Amino acid sequence: MKNLNNDYLNKFCSHIYIERAITAHPRTQKILAHFPHATVVTIDHYKDVFCRSRQSYPLQHGSQNLILAEKKGTLLYEGAPVCQSFGNQYFYYTSCMMNCIYDCEYCYLKGMYPSANLVIFVNLEDYFHEVEQMLKQHPLYLCVSYDSDLLALEQTVGYVKEWCDFVQTHENLKLEIRTKCASTGMVGQLAQTKDVILALTMSPQKVITSFEHHTPSLDARIAFTLKLLEAGCAVRLCFDPMIYLPGWETYYGQMIDQIFMHIDVNKLIDVSVGTFRISQDYLKKMRKQSPDCAVAWFPFQNENGYYHYPESLMEQMESFLTNRLAEQLPKEKIFRWTDN
């Protein structure tokens, strides 16, 4: 956000809200230890803070606080229609964390959540239990990093490691960990198995600089991909969402050149391509909260409650990138998003 004097705002996680019932939980204590100077506020239920009315997402993001809670009720959800299933029949996602430390202008979380504060659910065992129940019925392809970027908070929370350990002892379970993080120091901690797919979002540097605030650069993401591949991890590159901006063809073309130059793309398990799309309700909220956000104010086309770029532009952008990728990748490895 422009013109906000950040000197007036509290630092990241200056306050931590903790549900009374999980104050003594070992994960609560472990996370708290990372923030020795934070002020702790005890609450009854995370929604008492997270779901207050009239919150300002952009302002809160400038001074994000943490809420530690216990998630009750449903823990696994069927994949949403706007998400890519990669041909998996039993495609589910789960949210053991809500919100993200990064600040992508186009992020649907801005339209989905009433608050920008981070929520971490400490009862990971309950998630594991629900996964085990589901595995008794059928195999599972589970995305664990949709409503957050788990890897970006790994040093503090350690959930990626816990999920990786869980996968190693469970058959028929495949995880996708979506991230923009590029911390090469973490590579050793990640599972080197085909059942944990590290899905790195790739964007042209111009898009990163303009819209993906506080995220690693394209160079850093490429370097991270290389390290992961070297370590034997299963890596997917996600060119999704592609964001329109004047000169997009040049920027996306340069990005592909750069990737081809450094990465042997045939070592990737696959890639995904898709232009930006979002539910109309989320976009409405995003526009209200961020009147100056160009990505959100694009004159989209509305189709059955979802906004996307005009058909011709969408086709142009996705075909361009798919064709460029097809120069070095077999077609079966390129997943282009479709809504049917």
Partner 1 sequence: MIYLFTALYSEASVFIKHFQLTKNHQISTFQEFYNEEAGIRLTVTGVGEIAAASAVSSVCSIYQTTASDLLVNVGTCAGTSDGGIFLCNKITEISTGKTFYPDLLFSHDFQETELLTGMRVLDITLRDQLFADHLEGICYDMEAAAIYQAGSYHFGPHQMIFLKLVSDRGNGKEVTREQIDQLMNMHAKELCGFLEQMRQFRFSESRTELWSVERESLYLRLGRDLHCSKVMSDSLRQHLHYCFLVGTDVDAVLLDMYEKGQLPCKDKREGKQRFEELKQRLFE
Question: Which residue ranges make up the site for ligand SF4 (CB under 6 A)?
Answer: 100, 102-104, 107, 109, 148-149, 180
The option from partner 1, ligand SF4, none interacting with 104 (CB < 5 to 8 A, set by class) reads ligand SF4
**5 lies in the binding site for partner 1 (CB under 8 A):** yes
The nearer residue to ligand SF4, 300 or 329, going by C-beta atoms, is: 300
**319 lies in the binding site for partner 1 (CB under 8 A):** no
Q: For the purposes of burial, counting CB atoms within 10 Å of the CB of 292, is it exposed (0-12), middle (13-18) or buried (19 or more)?
A: exposed
- Interface mask (CB under 8 A) for partner 1, residues 39-58, using x and -? x-xxxx---xx--xxxxx--
Segment interacting with partner 1, rule: CB under 8 A, options 36-44, 191-199, 229-237, 320-328:
36-44
**85 lies in the binding site for partner 1 (CB under 8 A):** no
Distance CA 93, CA 75 (A): 9
Residue with token string 């996705």 = 318
Residues from 111 through 150 that contact partner 1 (CB under 8 A): none
Residues from 145 through 174 that contact partner 1 (CB under 8 A): none
The nearer residue to partner 1, 42 or 340, going by C-beta atoms, is: 42
Q: Least distance to ligand SF4 from the beta carbon of 276, Å?
A: 10
Q: Which CA distances in Å does 21 have to 17, 121, 128, 196? A: 12, 12, 20, 32
Length of the chain: 340
**291 lies in the binding site for partner 1 (CB under 8 A):** yes
Nearest CA-CA partner of 215 in 135, 277, 149:
149
Residue from 17, 92, 146, 224 binding partner 1 (CB under 8 A): 17
The option from ligand SF4, partner 1, none interacting with 100 (CB < 5 to 8 A, set by class) reads ligand SF4
The option from ligand SF4, partner 1, none interacting with 15 (CB < 5 to 8 A, set by class) reads partner 1
Q: Which two tokens stand for residue 280?
A: 């109309």
Coil vs helix vs strand at 100: coil
DSSP 8-state secondary structure symbol assigned to residue 297 = T
Quickly list DSSP for 26-75: HHHHHHHTT-TTPEEEEES-THHHHT-TT--HHHHHTT--EEEE---S--
> Half-sphere exposure of 258 toward its Cβ, with a 13 Å CA cutoff?
18
Q: Which residues bind partner 1 (CB under 8 A)?
A: 1-5, 7-11, 14-15, 17, 39, 41-44, 48-49, 52-56, 59-60, 62-63, 65, 244-246, 291-294, 297-299, 313
